[in-house]
Structure 1
């Protein structure tokens, strides 16, 4: 694998603490990312009412839910398109421009979903419009997440890249917490009839407003020092960046896709889908399911920061190995408790959420795997292709397995992806390339 943990500019400067400007960049990037990620994930929290509203009333409940998860998955299939195009211009014209464009593209379809007609009034046009809006969301998030990681990593001082990337990831997961809290509030304060009648629209209308706030916030961000130096030295990629990635960095792409699979499974199965799964498979009440999810999402944010701190001290490979071993162990304990009645559901779900924070190590591995002139394109291609494959298949696969293959199936799936992540961590350790994001 060539140039793994390649360095440039501020990522090789002498180690220093985060300065005021660094903290401001992290806060603005993280807050904007949280608002945009809320827009993307709130869809899954309302999968049940959407399955009733956007498909014929005589559709079997399990089939309607599978169809909604299919529309949810379409957002993942669209991610590579947005990621590849935005990354190309991000490597050629600047990180900041694409960082602002992505959040604008997310706000528009999110607001539109809140205004869509349902099947009862628009017939088959309703699910088609929902699918179209979801695809546009996927295009936007495909450029947002990789761009955000590159942006904060290239602003971070030496020795703080792991913490900076993890803080940004924690900010993104805060969007999940906002979505979970919104879903919990709506399910608690509105009757099921009110949710189906108009309550489901609220989170999407709010999300559209949040998105435009994020656009405004990003006006205050500056271009990364790394890109500014590349432009000043006329060292920007002269060829198509993606062509360079595919021609000379295939190993980095494979590594990044492997760790992205674990990230995908942990976030999708244990955070986004679990509230609906525990209601259907284990009989947990909606209020308790979403309250537990809020706890888990909060602990996820803390866990990301903790693993980022650990990354800068023991190296990305060891931190990834630790998290990849601990996460499936606790996941099995959580599902075993649910199968026994769920007496300890809330504390175990909170602990699981904290260990899902191991995904905070993943962006450090990926950012460091590609040299600066093609970093955005390399990371974006690997991350979005992996998310398109695994994200699109996971939602429908887990829904099917939960119905047909037993209630422990989601835990088994998470364990399989953790094994792949362990293998990636061991490879990094054996090759000596997992010590730090800013060490050659």
Structure 2
């Protein structure tokens, strides 16, 4: 297996890999999320006209949920392939499939043109896109983790995680710009195609420097005859030897998915249920929170490593709980300092930036992508489908429900931090099981 000095420096090639994956991550997240902002508009163009706005809303959200449900399929199926054939081939698959599905969405005929075939094709494309996304997210962390020296593993993964948030910010900004230059009728007629077209073009861009990116050193050093070519073997090994890692990985993914889903995606709508705030000020506050979460991701990545994961996770979880509760108490008091409070909340939520570095060290090299794909996509699929409906309903009953849920998730983070604090040294990231 490849060995590096404990104090090896990150080479220029390693830095380029991190930048390359970070760029793709921002684009991929923009690709997947942009639909959320234009769901109602796309639904009006793709589905038959419906006078009931609630039904139209459910149609649009249903297509978004389908993307979540498709993620485990793509992640697990192609994750196994990546553990056998290599990380680079599946990275190419994820990029090309995403770009092609988006390009097809951009030129898809409407219901008025093709009838029921239009929504059927759009659903199929959303499933394909969701499968590619489910593969890419775990792969991005594995790809950088297997390139950089171990002491840079946490910060490299945090840059990738932060770049997902850059994609969120970009999709939010892009939608506001699109809404400002087009009327609702124009968006429904043809404007909804523009985000998919832009996303497709951006997705193809990384292929221009594809030849400069190499396979990960850890995969190249694997003993191929011992790995074999049976696509079932990595999954068999995973469930035979890594049951504990699977459980821990799913709990860590619960933390990541809950924090990002609630604070980044759902919080504006949840707050609007019970609190009346100036719309423009609140939208700006939300964007500011995302920016500070990007900084928070990188900060936690910089200060954490395999020697102090437990301490940092406990401390960060406590700070997140305190700030989330303070945020809602502040809203109840009138929300005069919403900018400051949202910025602090976003920074505290950046604790998610250090968790992927733990995930990649839970699994041996020859089942790493399969293991993370399984944990991440199964858990995220459950959270992505159930939490929006469950927490949305709970918030109509108790205004503090989002704060209480994040406090619950933060408590899990504290427990996991204490577990890692008392855990012996992580296994070497290049270890293999047979």
Residues 214-229 of structure 1 mapped to structure 2, 5 A cutoff? 214-229=206-221
Equivalent position of 2:312 in the other structure: 319
CA shift, 1:207, in A, is 0.8
Deviates more, 1:87-96 or 1:430-439: 430-439
The structure-2 alpha-carbon separation of the partners of 1:243 and 1:436, relative to structure 1 and needing over 3 Å to count, comes to closer
Equivalent position of 1:80 in the other structure: 72
TM-score of the aligned structures, taking structure 2 as reference length: 0.89
* Alignment check: 8 A CA contact 1:9 1:229 kept: yes
* Alignment check: 8 A CA contact 2:364 2:430 kept: no
5+ residue gaps, structure 2, are: none
TM-score of the aligned structures, taking structure 1 as reference length: 0.88
* Alignment check: 8 A CA contact 1:73 1:393 kept: no
**C-alpha distance in structure 2 between counterparts of 1:49 and 1:398, whole Å:** 25
Deviates more, 1:108-117 or 1:364-373: 108-117
Deviates more, 1:16-25 or 1:104-113: 104-113
> Alignment partner for residue 227 of structure 2, among 225, 236, 247?
236
**C-alpha distance in structure 1 between counterparts of 2:274 and 2:108, whole Å:** 30
Equivalent position of 2:266 in the other structure: 273
**C-alpha distance in structure 2 between counterparts of 1:219 and 1:21, whole Å:** 13
Greater relative contact order: 1 or 2 (C-alpha under 8 angstroms, separation 6 or more)? 1
CA shift, 1:269, in A, is 1.5
> Alignment partner for residue 33 of structure 1, among 21, 25, 37?
25
> Alignment partner for residue 384 of structure 2, among 381, 391, 397?
391
- Runs of 4 or more above 6 Å deviation: 434-440
**C-alpha distance in structure 1 between counterparts of 2:157 and 2:46, whole Å:** 38
The structure-2 alpha-carbon separation of the partners of 1:148 and 1:218, relative to structure 1 and needing over 3 Å to count, comes to farther
* Alignment check: 8 A CA contact 1:300 1:354 kept: yes
CA shift, 1:94, in A, is 0.8
**C-alpha distance in structure 1 between counterparts of 2:275 and 2:412, whole Å:** 28
> Alignment partner for residue 132 of structure 1, among 109, 120, 124?
124
Equivalent position of 1:382 in the other structure: 375
Deviates more, 1:96-105 or 1:279-288: 279-288
**C-alpha distance in structure 2 between counterparts of 1:44 and 1:117, whole Å:** 20
**C-alpha distance in structure 2 between counterparts of 1:406 and 1:47, whole Å:** 27
Is structure 2 residue 28 aligned with structure 1 residue 44?
no
**C-alpha distance in structure 1 between counterparts of 2:279 and 2:93, whole Å:** 36
Q: Cα RMSD (Å) of the superposition? A: 2.8
* Alignment check: 8 A CA contact 2:364 2:431 kept: no
* Per-residue deviation, residues 43-89 of structure 1 (Å, max 9, x unmatched): 2233454465555432243x543443332122121111111121111
* Alignment check: 8 A CA contact 1:39 1:204 kept: yes
